[in-house]
Amino acid sequence: MESIQQTLHKMKNSTNILDRFQRLKDEVLSDKLILDFIQSNPTLSEHELDRNVSRLFEFRNERKNCTNCSSLQECSNMMGGYQPQLYTERGQILIRYNVCDKKKSADERKRQQTLIKSLYVPKEILSATFDQLDQDNRSRLVAIAKAVEFATTTNPGENGKGLYLHGKFGVGKTFIMGAIANELAERNISSMLVYTPDFFRELKSGIHDGSYNEKLEIVKSTPILILDDLGAETMSSWVRDDILGVILQHRMLEKLPTLYTSNYDYEELEEHLSYSQKGGIEQLKAKRIMERIRHFAEPISVEGINRRGN
């Protein structure tokens, strides 16, 4: 088989074409990665190199894109998120495309996000990490330390202990819970964040559309349940006893941790749970719910400015 140079010599205007080919070859062969590849494959023939100048040129350009790449979204390679690799097979130069580190990280992030389910929780909460949390007062330092400890050590089914973050509106309790959920995902532990008032309303409507039992079962059985803004709902005996009580009883028996955020401390929450829409006061039933919360969740006060700005 003729070499490329032999073929080019026979073509009209071959001198100009051959010059351009040689310049391209020299440019390609000056690339460090290609030189390293050639040196690690000393049996490659000159003919094989000539035959694959365009392939080597493609490799060089694609790898240059990878070197200058700032994010997966800005990837300009032919196959976004894939990095070229030269290899030989039976004396031939070939290119394979492997998943790059940025795409691996993005794919892993997507996989982890599937472990975090949410109901009525803002999207920014689902992307929270511990690195993003402000540590501007002692109570937040303590809360973050407890949250990190929980997220890195909890084992659903073995230890049902959770956390109860309480404090004023907007101090960042839910954001801390989002960071916990993402850290749990790193450990392949599934969690569910539930904005409690909306979830209770959805369960109530589920009685009419037949979805009540299914939705209740999902929340009861999720490995880590985060009840956000407990106490913000309109309390009724049915919500307290047949929803919250049933959920907590199941999770207590199965040793599945439950975490909470609330504007109320334990005493205030107990008072809230003792009232119903009908105006009655049912302290004993409220105490039963509170016993399940107190025994299985450590109370942590979170103080600070209103970070929501309203």
> Identity (one letter) of the amino acid at 280?
G
Q: How far apart are CA 287 and CA 283, in angstroms?
A: 6
* The pLDDT value given to residue 141: 93
* The pLDDT value given to residue 66: 87
Element (H, E) at 260: strand 258-262
Do residues 292 and 164 make contact, with C-beta atoms less than 8 angstroms apart? no
pLDDT in tens, 240-292: 999 999 999 999 999 999 999 999 999 999 999 998 666 667 889 999 999 99
Claim to verify: residue 135 and residue 98 sit in the same structural domain: no
Nearest CA to 162 out of 173, 147, 179 is that of 147
Between strands 82-89 and 92-99, the pairing is antiparallel
Q: Is residue 254 in some structural domain?
A: yes
Claim to verify: residue 177 and residue 72 sit in the same structural domain: no
Tokens describing residue 187: 């450990």
Asked whether residue 1 carries a pLDDT value surpassing 50, the answer given is no
pLDDT in tens, 120-143: 788 788 888 999 888 888 999 999
Give me the percent of the chain exceeding a pLDDT of 70: 89
- Alpha-carbon separation of residue 144 from 115, 130, 184, 299, 300 (angstroms): 22, 8, 14, 13, 10
Q: Is residue 221 in some structural domain?
A: yes
pLDDT confidence tier of residue 12, bands split at 50, 70 and 90: very low
Q: How far apart are CA 10 and CA 53, in angstroms?
A: 19
Claim to verify: residue 137 and residue 88 sit in the same structural domain: no
Q: How far apart are CA 120 and CA 124, in angstroms?
A: 12
pLDDT in tens, 157-203: 999 999 999 999 888 999 999 999 999 988 989 999 999 998 888 88
Residue 272 is part of a domain; what is its CATH number? 3.40.50.300
Full domain range(s) for residue 18:
4-103
Do residues 193 and 118 make contact, with C-beta atoms less than 8 angstroms apart? yes
Q: Is residue 108 in some structural domain?
A: no
Q: Report the domain count for the chain.
A: 2
Asked whether residue 8 carries a pLDDT value surpassing 50, the answer given is no
Asked whether residue 204 carries a pLDDT value surpassing 70, the answer given is yes
Domain endpoint, select from 73, 103, 133 = 103
* The pLDDT value given to residue 2: 45
Q: How far apart are CA 162 and CA 181, in angstroms?
A: 13
pLDDT confidence tier of residue 112, bands split at 50, 70 and 90: low
Q: Give the Cβ contact number of residue 289 at 10 Å.
A: 19
Claim to verify: residue 122 and residue 88 sit in the same structural domain: no
Calculate the average pLDDT of the chain.
Answer: 85
* The pLDDT value given to residue 31: 85
Return the SS3 of 68: coil
Q: Is residue 120 in some structural domain?
A: yes
